[in-house]
Amino acid sequence: MSKNFEKNGSKPRVLSLFSGCGGMDFGVEAAGGHVIFSNDILVDACKTLENYFPGADIRTEDVSNILTFPEADIVVGGYPCQSFSMAGNRDPEKDERTNLYKQFLRAITIVRPKYFVAENVSGLKQLSSGTFLKEQIDAYGQAGYVVNYQVLNAKDYGVPQSRKRLLIVGVRKDLNQVFNFPAPTHGKTTKSSGQLQPYASHGEAIKDLPLWPEGEFYERLHDPEGHFSWYYMSRNRKAKWAEPAYTVVANFRHITLHPASPVMTLTWSDLANGWKQRWDFSDQYEHLEADPRRPKLEKARRLSWRECARIQTFSNDFEPVGDTASKFTQIGNAVPPKLAEAIFTHLFTGAGLIAADTYLPKTK
Buried-exposed string 18-44: b where 16+ CB fall within 10 A, e elsewhere: bbbbbbbbbbbbbbebbbbbbbbbbeb
**C-alpha torsion sign, points 113, 140, 174, 346:** positive
Residues 314 and 26 sit within 8 Å (Cβ to Cβ): yes
Closest CA to 200 of 166, 235, 239: 239
Residue 200 burial by CB count (10 A; 0-12/13-18/19+): exposed, middle or buried?
Answer: buried
**Distance from C-alpha of 205 to C-alpha of 248, rounded to nearest angstrom:** 14
3-state secondary structure of 52: helix
DSSP code, position 88? S
Catalytic annotation, residues? 81
Residues 307 and 330 sit within 8 Å (Cβ to Cβ): no
